[in-house]
């Protein structure tokens, strides 16, 4: 299954879903003390490995973080070659003064927004999907 590339269908059928919990981004230099089952994702950078992990697990591990996020998953299976989906929803969120951090998985796009903006972000995304042509 290769995923959807039609931008109109992607927007109309994105079906945003708010995942339960609070999530943080932290940078670690050694992953040995991190249970890899606990990480949502990892990205290697020159400065260290950025992990996304549940806030309570980060607190237990005494990991540093500055940003507490809500996690929204777009339920449509978007192709990694799709053009315009990220630009469309990030523009809609930006117009509503909502910062977003996006991670593309093989099947779905995942949007992290400040926890204080989670309900507003869901309204913006749902409205975008419902009013799209």
pLDDT tens, per residue, the chain with 133 residues:
689 999 999 999 999 999 999 999 999 999 999 999 999 999 999 999 999 999 999 999 999 999 999 999 999 999 999 999 999 999 999 999 999 999 999 999 999 999 999 999 999 999 999 986 5
Sequence length of the chain is 133
pLDDT score recorded for residue 132: 65
Residue 19 near residue 73, CB atoms below 8 Å: yes
Residue 109, C-beta contacts closer than 8 angstroms, at least 6 positions apart: 14, 73, 74, 78, 85, 86, 102, 103
pLDDT score recorded for residue 131: 87
pLDDT score recorded for residue 2: 83
For the record, the structure tokens of 4 come out as 């959807």
Question: ∠ at Cα 51 (19, 108), nearest 5°?
Answer: 45
Rounded Cα gap, residues 42 and 51, in angstroms:
4
């Amino acid at each position: 299954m290769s995923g959807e590339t039609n931008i109109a269908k992607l927007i109309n059928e994105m079906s945003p879903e708010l995942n339960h919990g609070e999530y943080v981004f932290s940078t670690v230099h050694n992953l040995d003390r991190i249970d890899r089952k606990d990480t949502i994702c990892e990205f290697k950078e020159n400065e260290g490995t950025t992990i996304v992990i549940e806030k309570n697990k980060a607190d237990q591990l005494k990991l540093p973080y500055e940003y507490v996020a809500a996690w929204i998953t777009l339920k449509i299976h978007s192709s990694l070659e799709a053009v315009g989906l990220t630009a469309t929803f990030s523009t809609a969120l930006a117009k509503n003064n909502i910062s977003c951090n996006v991670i593309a998985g093989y099947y779905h796009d995942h949007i992290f927004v400040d926890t204080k903006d989670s309900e507003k972000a869901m309204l913006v995304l749902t409205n975008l999907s419902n009013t799209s042509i």
